[in-house]
Amino acid sequence: MPHIRVLLADDHTVVRAGLRDALRVLPDLEIVGEVGTGLELMDALAHIHPDLLVMDVNMPDFEPVPAVQQIKSKRPALKILIVSAYDDESYVVGLLNAGVDGYHMKDQPLSDLQLAVQRVLNGDRWISSSLVGKLTAHRASSQSSPTPWLTRRQRELLRLLTEGSDNRHIALSLDISVKTVENHLTALYRVLGVDSRLKAVNYALRHPELLATSGQEASEIPTRIEPGLTVLVVDDNPRYRQQLCRLISKICPSSLLYEARNASEALTLGKQVQPQLALIDVVLEDDDGIQCARRLRTLSPSTRMVVISAYPDREFRRQALSAGAIAFLDKKDFDTASVRQVIEDALR
């Protein structure tokens, strides 16, 4: 059987290495090229002629939807699998309509990526399970009205909405009836000044500070660390952000936690709240996390920054420390003990 020629496109070298390692185990696949920009991609397509293109949507000199339409018009037989951290409607629906054969989320297991490639090559359309049934409307323009105050229950409800939970899942998560969920949603919509689930999610995306909660509210176990702490968690994976926030809140319930999914949100919050501690992922949806740390240091010099990554690369570590981070930690090593040490260091 002839080899299937695969081209990888992602502007992060480490991410491409991870994709390459994951796909090498599949039979009859040959990685014939790697590119990191839109210009390099178009040039490679003209010279390499791959059978499968595995690419991110966020690269320099690259407009995803028009590019896919152009590629498909010239090479209709080419299979295209998007591997992205973006999960909003403008990318998922727009790119599927443009002709991509699959949309895979970066936070899913490698086994799912391998399955996605096999399905796409077999002629099926692949969509990550976390995206099925989820619709996120386009962001509306920012509003100048003050951000409303939410109760603990309303924040929990809004978090679940942003995760794409339906009423039944919300009821199970909060241990209440579906009818009670409906009543809570009505009250939440009234507070936010919206009239639908999608508009509530949009509002939360525009105002991430709404989801900031005291660690005491989020924690269910006692702690040995009493002083308060303002923490900013910057990661484009919402599930990881929330997992890390829960871990911090268990260790320091009096903390005030803020979440940002990209550098723009992080810098806005950093300027507003001047966090004592910031945990920043290396790979963000719109920027380099190390550059984000460097810019945050300028806006908030007193913030102690820890750069985190799923890729324990030495060069990343060197760049993070030179950007002003007090530590560079592997995500896989993040447990209660390591997070406790980070918090204790930040409180000194």
Quick one: tokens of 127?
């969509």
Helix axis angle, 263-273 relative to 289-299, nearest 10°? 20
**24, 118: one domain:** yes
- Burial of residue 310 (CB within 10 Å: 0-12, 13-18, 19+) is middle
pLDDT at 223: 37
**334, 219: one domain:** yes
**Residues spanned by the domain of 279:** 212-347
pTM: 0.42
* Residue that finishes a domain, picked among 131, 160, 175: 131
**200, 76: one domain:** no
Q: What tens digit of pLDDT does each residue of 304-322 get? A: 888 888 876 777 888 888 8
**341, 308: one domain:** yes
Quick one: tokens of 260?
């940002």
Tokens 């942003």 label which residue? 162
CATH code of 104's domain: 3.40.50.2300
**189, 236: one domain:** no
H/E element, 160? helix 152-162
- Burial of residue 338 (CB within 10 Å: 0-12, 13-18, 19+) is middle
Q: What tens digit of pLDDT does each residue of 257-300 get? A: 888 888 888 888 888 888 889 999 988 876 788 899 999 988 88
Pairing mode of beta strands 256-260, 213-214: antiparallel
* Residue that finishes a domain, picked among 152, 187, 209: 209
Domain count, the chain: 3
**228, 194: one domain:** no
**72, 13: one domain:** yes
**225, 266: one domain:** yes
**228, 341: one domain:** yes
Quick one: tokens of 1?
């059987």
- Closest C-alpha to 179, from 169, 190, 167, 197: 167
* Residue that finishes a domain, picked among 170, 190, 209: 209
Cα–Cα distances (Å) from 267 to 26, 262, 263, 325, in that order, read 41, 9, 6, 15
CATH code of 175's domain: 1.10.10.10
Pairing mode of beta strands 213-214, 79-84: unpaired
**38, 120: one domain:** yes
